[in-house]
Structure 1
Amino acid sequence: MRLLMLLFLGFLSLAAQGASISFKAVAIGEQDGWIVLDLVQHYVLSDTMLEALENGVPLTFATEIVIDPEDASFWRSALGRRIVRRQLSFHPLAGEYEVLDLGAGTQRRFATRDAALLALGDLKGEKIIRSSALRKGRYYRVSIQTANDIGELPLPLRPKAYLFPGWHLSSKVYEWRLQP
């Protein structure tokens, strides 16, 4: 029984291999009094997620951007935190993929899944924090991480999604120093 359970868990981890979210380009700067972020991510979905998408289940991804003074204590809340939420869906009758920015309410439609995944990972000019909130000469730590939001799946899928690794997709934390 124990061997069977280990084989089953090994099989589940193999099913999730290959799925990833990686950062291809990250740029941060100041624009119109705001600290803004440009980001290019590359998405590779698991077979489980692809099957759900092709059957009309929307997939929601959250990109969390945090700015904090480099010497901030662990218990202190972040100086600046922004969560960008985007949803990828497929409309089988139209044969189109859609990327919806849940914060801005904008949507874009694509003929192919690859084009939709490229658009999903392309964030331009995302306002993070007013530049006046940062002191000149002080160092800040910026971190970014993207993950799929299992809590946004349809209710009947959530228990299974929490238990099976094919539903868990997250980038590594990308972190660097910023000095305004």
Structure 2
Amino acid sequence: MLKRRCMLLFCGLLLAPAVYAASISYKAVAIGEEDGWILLDLLQNYELSDTMVEALENGVPLTFETEIIIDPEDASFWRRVLAKKRIRRQLLFHPLAEEYEVRDLGTGKQRRFATREAALLALGDLKERKIIRADALQEGVFYLVSIQTTHDIGALPLPLRPRAYLSPGWHLSSKVYEWRLQP
């Protein structure tokens, strides 16, 4: 976890659902300050739909985007957002090597795994991601932090997109989670 003063910590227990359903849920979120930056640690749980698993096993890359927004709690509707960070990651399967790969599209880092379960765990594990400089936040002001992760259908190969937009098996996103933050 973060080796600094935590401004926010949320831990949730995941209960095994009675019926398998595709979902993205949050196990833990920590936001803190280190070296003049507000950093995010995030642990997510991914459960893919049968449609997505079939596509992945046939070599179709799946792209996920996590959006983090920090804005003053009393910000007006028309005002620009204080900080918006998008983290894009991709899950791939290499049939010839029989390996899964998790790629961070922002940093270019990639890791390979022998099982889909291990790759999904790595996909949901984000550590020490810089969100905004700490000096951009004012003392005594409350901020709202919201996080949401979605499957990016627009990143699918062109022939799959029309079907994916119309099929519920491709629509996967987490709920929007919001927390209050005071520096």
Instruction: Tell me, yes or no, whether TM beats 0.5.
Output: yes
Residue 118 of structure 2: aligned partner: 115
Residue 19 of structure 1 and its aligned partner are, at CA, apart by 0.3
Residue 75 of structure 1 and its aligned partner are, at CA, apart by 1.9
Q: Give, in whole Å, the separation in 2 of the partners of 1:168 and 1:76.
A: 30
Residue 172 of structure 2: aligned partner: 169
Q: 1:101-112 residue pairs with structure 2 within 5 A?
A: 101-112=104-115
Given the alignment of the two structures, is residue 54 of structure 1 paired with residue 57 of structure 2, yes or no?
yes
Q: Give, in whole Å, the separation in 2 of the partners of 1:119 and 1:77.
A: 33
* Gap runs ≥5 in structure 1: 1-16
**Percent pairwise identity:** 77
Q: Give, in whole Å, the separation in 2 of the partners of 1:134 and 1:89.
A: 38
Q: Give, in whole Å, the separation in 2 of the partners of 1:23 and 1:75.
A: 30
Q: Give, in whole Å, the separation in 2 of the partners of 1:154 and 1:28.
A: 35
Q: Give, in whole Å, the separation in 2 of the partners of 1:24 and 1:97.
A: 22
Q: Which amino acid aligns with 1:126?
A: R
Residue 8 of structure 2: aligned partner: none
Q: Which amino acid aligns with 2:49?
A: S
Given the alignment of the two structures, is residue 41 of structure 1 paired with residue 44 of structure 2, yes or no?
yes
Residue 66 of structure 1: aligned partner: 69
Q: Please give the secondary structure, in 1, of the residue aligned with 2:147.
A: strand
Given the alignment of the two structures, is residue 30 of structure 1 paired with residue 51 of structure 2, yes or no?
no
RMSD between aligned residues: 0.7
Residue 119 of structure 1 and its aligned partner are, at CA, apart by 0.2
* Gap runs ≥5 in structure 2: 1-19
> Which has the larger share of helix?
1
Given the alignment of the two structures, is residue 134 of structure 1 paired with residue 150 of structure 2, yes or no?
no
Q: Which amino acid aligns with 1:161?
A: A
Q: Give, in whole Å, the separation in 2 of the partners of 1:144 and 1:46.
A: 22
Larger radius of gyration between Structure 1 and Structure 2: 1
- TM-score, L = length of structure 1: 0.90
Residue 87 of structure 2: aligned partner: 84
Residue 77 of structure 1 and its aligned partner are, at CA, apart by 1.8
Q: Give, in whole Å, the separation in 2 of the partners of 1:65 and 1:37.
A: 9
Q: Please give the secondary structure, in 1, of the residue aligned with 2:87.
A: strand
- TM-score, L = length of structure 2: 0.89
Deviations 1:89-141 (A, max 9, x none): 00000000000000000000000000000000000001000001000111000
Q: Give, in whole Å, the separation in 1 of the partners of 2:173 and 2:101.
A: 21
Residue 94 of structure 1: aligned partner: 97
